[in-house]
Chains A and B, each alone.
Chain A
Amino acid sequence: MLLSNRLNPLLRTELRRRFRNARSFGALTVYLAVVSGLALALYLGVAISNANGPTGGGIESGRAAGTSLFYITSGLLLVLVCFIGPLFSVGAIAAERENATLDALRMTPLPAREIVLAKFASAYGYVVLLTLVTLPIFALVLIIGGVEAAEIAVVLCVILCAGFAFTALGVLASAISKTRMTAAILTYTVVLLLVMGTAIFSLIAAPGLMALRTALASSGSALGVFFGQLLLILPLSFSPISAIVSAETNFRASGHMLSITPDPLPGLPATSAIAMPAPFALMTLFYLLAGIVLLIIAIRKVKTMDDRR
């Protein structure tokens, strides 16, 4: 528990140290300036095109601008979260070890759980702040049109869960590595594999998985249909990129957000396609569970730390 009888002093100190650092506010300001600049550019583009073009296209072009702004902001936020969460957490324990402050901390009555959770919370707090400051841009998107509130909710959910897991991954890497550099290499390799690797795998493996789905569905059993579809959906559920893209594609095609129903297979009855949970739902569940497990392992590692060098 971060809060027992009192607020964890390490968490308070970590937050104070993080937010009085000019770099934290500098990064936020630059990010907001870029996103706001893009929003302004898109708005001006639409305004100019409406002023010069035929009348009646205003609403449609406004929607297109809203959709573009939504996609650009979501992409930018996702990239930042994938980068910033681990950046702040890879030093959590490794930096304390490098600066010889870890021993001083371990000598205090603070349990390993509080040390790890305070480090995690201060890094994840910045990810949440980054997401919160983007809300006005998403509100602007809603006003302009072209995007539903549910789409924004899904993107925020995916990004916050990805940030949660990647920050926890950074904390664990930091607990098992002797230096920040090793922890950073380890964390960013896994993040890159999850974000890009699984998305690329989904694209490459799609024809093979589709053939497998057809073979399983041809057996006629409900389980065959289910596992055939699961094989298609699972690879999309490991990367936040493919989770968001599949959620958007599905929503725009079918109007459904939480479930996805693949097209029926040619030559097979309509029962060869059943509704499945959307990849983003599986992804958020998987990332939340993974983040919790990673934190538990990090706590155990710090608790039993016994540097025999």
Chain B
Amino acid sequence: MIRVTNLALKTNKTVLLDGLSFEVAAGEIFGVIGPDTPNKTALLRLLASLMRPTSGEVMIGGVSTTHQPEQARRLTGYLASDAGVYLDMTCAEYLAFFAECYGVSAGARPALVSDLLSLVDLQKRANTRIGALTRGMGQRLGLARALAHDPPALVLDEPMRGMDPRAQVETRELLRELAGMGKAIVLTARSLAEADGLITRGALLARTRFTAQGEMSELTSAGEAYRTILIRALGDVERVMDVARAAPGVVEIWSTGAPDAPSAPSPQPPITELRCRFNGGYLQADALLRELAHHGAQVVAFHEI
């Protein structure tokens, strides 16, 4: 259903993607896993035919996103990491509007809106203004919008971003259900833990290239040696460093000071930026984060740089 061949994207100054290839069959969920960088989003925008690649090709259901973007978009449901919602509309109005844009007849729209709201568990919020929803609910509404024209391919940029744990569980279930209905799904995730149990296959995206591709077991064993992780922590920094030093995979940890020195005294404890030289995979990095949380460290940011 989705075939990506030797895809590359270069801007004037930067190479964003270089030689990516993968295929996603109907009923599969393919995860693109990597740190929070523009590269991942660029890949999804290419799949959604919202950008044109520098070279290579994306085919959705046999339609080229470069040569026939309008036709390709009809086959694709796209959800950006920011759901893209109109805050002054109600949930039902929002879905009815997009259903109309997709050419759903006026008679069929109320039933479709009701079905979509039920699907993402927002039926009780049909007449709630979107501005009053939580970020997670907004994301679910965006997912419903992406399904409004019943596309065979779904391209979802961090679909569970901002969701509470219960909503995450329900969304994972919904995505598996959609895959079961024969939809080919490509989604992004920041960690293997986030994708574990959800994706059929996936790839680790390190900056511009895939460093590993395959099933979950292949990805977990393909940890890249010596990555640098940035940790911003609140409060007792020595304690955070002690906990990190004792964690498996941590080679070295050092402080680079406060990222933004406050101009006036603040009642909040200061944020300290730490960099950690790390020799391990994504699961070990996840374990480190959990270890820090377990010891009461208040981690503000934690990602690979």
Contacts and interface: CB of A to CB of B under 8 A. Distances in A.
Interface string B89-130: 100010001101111000000000000000000000000000
Contact of B78 (A99, A103, A309): A103
A10 B97 CA distance: 8
B9 A108 contact: no
Given A100-B82, A107-B50, A308-B9, A9 B145 contact: no
A106 B86 CA distance: 15
Contact of A17 (B42, B52, B76, B86): B86
A105 B101 CA distance: 8
A109 B51 contact: no
A104 B11 contact: no
A260 B100 CA distance: 52
Contacts of A263: none
A104 B145 contact: yes
Nearest to B78: A107
A101 interface: yes
Most buried by B among A9, A104, A306: A104
A306 B51 contact: yes
Nearest to A309: B38
Interface in B42-96: 42, 45, 48, 50-52, 70, 73-74, 76-78, 80, 82-89, 93
A17 B84 contact: no
Contacts of A47: none
B80 A103 contact: yes
Nearest to B89: A17
A109 B74 contact: yes
Interface residues of B, number: 35
A295 to B, nearest CB: 21
A108 B145 CA distance: 10
Contacts of A309: 11, 38
Given A103-B45, A109-B74, A309-B38, A9 B101 contact: yes
A127 B99 CA distance: 30
A296 to B, nearest CB: 19
A9 B48 CA distance: 22
A101 B85 contact: yes
Interface of B: 9, 11, 16, 38, 42, 45, 48, 50-52, 70, 73-74, 76-78, 80, 82-89, 93, 97-98, 100-103, 142, 145-146
Interface of A: 9-10, 13, 17, 21, 99-111, 306-309
Given A9-B97, A107-B78, 8 more contacts: A13-B89, A99-B82, A100-B80, A103-B78, A104-B145, A107-B48, A107-B50, A309-B38
